[in-house]
Chain A
Amino acid sequence: MKKMSIDRRSFLKVSALGGGGALLALYVKPAVAQFGPQVPALPSNYIKIAADGTVTIMAKNPDLGQGVKTMLPMLIADELDADWKKVKVEQTDFDDTKYAGQIAGGSTATPTNWRPMRQVGAAGRAMLITAAAQTWNVPETEITTDSGKVVHQASNRSMDYGQLASKLDSLKPPALNTVKLKDPKDYKIIGHTQQGRDTHAIATGQPIFAIDMTRPGMLFAAYEKCGVFGGKVKSANLDEIKQMPGVRDAFIVERPVPNENVLPGDPGLENGIAIVADTWWQAQTARKKLQVTWDEGKWGTPDQTSTVFQQKADEFSKGSPQRTIRKDGDAEGTLKSAAKVVEGAYSYPFIAHAPLEPQGCTAEFENGKLTLWTNSQIPGNARRLAAEACGIQQSDVTLHMLHGGGGFGRRLTNDYAVEAAYISKHVGKPVKLLWSREDDMAHDYYRPGGFQYLKAGLDNSGKVVAWRNHFVSYGEGERFASAAAMGPTEFPQRFVPNYELHTSVMPLGIRTGSLRAPSSNAFAFVIQSFIDELAHAAGKDPVQFRMDLLNAGTPLPPPPAPGARGGFGPAGMDANRMKGVLELVADKSGWGKRKLAKNTGIGVAFHFSHLGYFAEVAEVKVESNNKVKVNKVWVAADIGSQIINPGFAENLTHGAVIDGMSELMDQEITVDKGRVVQTNFHQHKLVRMAQAPPEIEIHWLKTNNQPTGLGEPALPPILPAIANAIFAASGKRVRALPLSKSGFSWA
């Protein structure tokens, strides 16, 4: 452990000399490139100062519970030197002529906005100083600010920002790259816990969610789709439905179905039947009387069934892979001469996002113009697809961003917003579309399931000398289904001299997409569980074994090209930062020193994703009937030099741990002839309060790196940390998720 500290210190020195921050910025760039065009950030688009002194700061990103409506304005307010208690925060509309990167995805809000939002605030402050200098006729250098006031110490004068409001319009904002940013030690808002800006509204039940939107004359809609993707209506008893109480209209929507063998990620309007009524319950009640004959199309076949997927994967594992993604050295050859060979067949299922607010959107189509009120995580796509469905220009769409009741990646797909838009146009009235929970469970973009057949070799000293993975996933040819890929730099590539990653894919007729920490949420379980197996096979302590592995790495390669997935992926992992958090979590959890009760074990895992470094330890008790209680979790994280809103960061990290526990134990979506089997939360379970760990202890390792995101990278390590603790407690190694399939349950 001592050696580790020296390593980390020397790294910090090197990065200070070598510009580690600049390197990180290069890694952040692909993320920016991926999330839309850049428009210059103009202070006037973000800051409004009224004559009465009210400072309003615009929050530009969709907030679905990840706290950006509070966090991004904090960055502006601190550099503006505004009085946070008096600042008003206002959610913007979607407007890509004014705002860049209006998206909730990829834990990108912090790394992509950290600098520009502070610069916006600093530019605003510089303008206030210029205005004050002109007013008082004194040099700008003599003017300071103090929480909403400009101050001229020499003449003992001060003015509220509001008194300068009228002068700001005539001033040209300074170039953002010329403004001076605060020394972090002077932060008054950043780094200090601030209450969520919607907390009061939530505590008093104000109608801030998309589902709460109402418009004068609004009708309610339900939308019935075929359980099989692409299915279209052959016939339906619409005449009968139209006679049901409250029903205003019922009609069939038919669109061309994409014929490709890899389903599109966000296909726009899909076939179905719209029922429009005076209330949603009437629409839904009428829907229960629907009798539809579907043409299921090409995906309603017996091979589109979970048990068949498993059989095919096992067959693939016995044969030659379809193709090779990465080959460093000679893993096959090395495995033949290795002192010890360990094999493990791992698998994980499809799972649903199921944010608690079901999908829904309010749309108003009038005179060729469309207005949407939505909680989309990627409103730019909602606008584009809705415009396409309604046959209008994107410039004819106004999109209001409403607070979302969770997203987790589900609302990166805009099917529900497009349906609402189309239905409103069809009936010529404002329409609130709401999916039932059953709709949501049946028509999600599921976290892709997958299978990994691993084989690794150890030498006499217990060092990993070969790693071979046959990754079985979904897709066709070289194309993976959405979010179902593994890249050529997946860990422990670069840390094992002989590394081979092969793949085989099979066609898939259900839609897949990104779920919080996409790919990482499954891969961390596989890789960190298998590494645990290797540690035990080598007779080494699981923490020390991981340290040794991290020490065996080759240096960080050059940053990936803009737009490449590597911006989030393992390619950018700095082993020294990971060793830092691993050392910290081992220290804080008393690893190796902790006295453990009977049937109790402790497990560790780490994972790098979305630019964040997380190592987690879990202590669990496993009773003889395989009932599992998580006694305590320790999280150590390096997400850079600053935790912007510490209280919320803690809350979000608790949530990541608990979310990961749900995925670990109970969640599974299965497919039967192209249809999803599970219908609601009783079959796709979330952790409940009594099952949550009584304590989750979080430690931030602040390093000299730009702050990065948190919502996603905190999740992946908890699955293997608990699985490894279960092994430590019970000797049972579970290689298939969810654990409930192997007879485990929460105590």
Chain B
Amino acid sequence: MAFKLNVNGKSATVDVPGDTPLLWVIRDVLNLHATKYGCGIGQCRACTVHLNGRAVPSCQTPVSAVGNQPITTLEGLSADGTHPVQLAWQEIDVPQCGYCQAGQMMTAAALLAKNSKPSDKDIDSAMNGNLCRCGTYLRIRQAVHRASEITTNASTRAVQTASVNK
């Protein structure tokens, strides 16, 4: 069956059975490999993507349920690593093995989009679905705070620039 998807701002048509998990469409049909398979039952969330801005486990999302909602994968945050979450992850040097980190960053980016200054508690609660087998949680927490700072500083700068331009 053909499905027309909007992935990272680009339109793509895929011909797969409707019950195919979005994860496998993204990985093996669209060849976008940042999104990872870890458990297949929504327990680890290494497969997290944004569906219409919400962080969802793509292994639990049949492609038929996507409709016209835009999909964003880690590749769609930025290709060069300049999204505040990606910048923070690099600056704090979060990863050990790195396998879960795409999912972690996607959950973090969705959190920050709703709540630009999350507390530790907000972070714990938003990120609790994402497993890290290596145990980088302390750095993930630190990196979410850092990404929040980068976002705030950038928007402050943008506001300042805007007012100068007036």
Contact = CB atoms under 8 A, between A and B. Distances in A.
Contacts of A65: 95-99, 134
Interface residues of A, number: 64
B81 A204 contact: yes
Interface in A427-480: 434, 436-438
Contacts of B124: 689-690
A211 interface: yes
A651 B98 contact: no
Contacts of B123: 689
Interface residues of B, number: 61
B133 A356 contact: yes
B5 to A, nearest CB: 16
Nearest to A212: B33
B57 to A, nearest CB: 12
Contact of A198 (B36, B37, B95, B128): B95
B155 interface: no
Given A205-B75, A657-B135, A681 B17 contact: no
Nearest to B130: A689
A405 B141 CA distance: 21
B99 A681 contact: no
A680 B96 contact: no
B125 A690 contact: yes
A595 interface: no
A281 B81 contact: no
A96 to B, nearest CB: 25
Given A214-B31, A406-B134, A651-B93, A690 B128 contact: yes
Where chain B touches its partner, the secondary structure class is: loop
Contacts of A269: none
B151 to A, nearest CB: 16
B55 interface: no
B98 to A, nearest CB: 4
Contact of B95 (A202, A354, A654, A659): A202
Interface in B16-55: 16-17, 20-21, 24, 28-29, 31-41, 43-44, 46
A682 interface: yes
A354 B39 CA distance: 10
Nearest to B41: A680
Where chain A touches its partner, the secondary structure class is: loop
Interface string B70-100: 0001110011110000100110011111111
A357 B93 contact: no
A203 B108 CA distance: 13
* Most chain B C-beta atoms within 10 Å of own C-beta, residue among A206, A358, A655, A689: A689
11 contacts: A204-B81, A205-B35, A205-B73, A214-B31, A281-B28, A355-B97, A356-B46, A659-B134, A680-B39, A686-B131, A689-B137
Interface of A: 64-67, 193, 195-196, 198-200, 202-207, 209, 211-212, 214, 220, 245, 279-281, 285, 354-358, 403-408, 434, 436-438, 647-648, 651-652, 654-659, 680-682, 686-690, 692-696
Given A406-B133, A437-B40, 5 more contacts: A195-B93, A199-B90, A200-B90, A356-B132, A686-B132
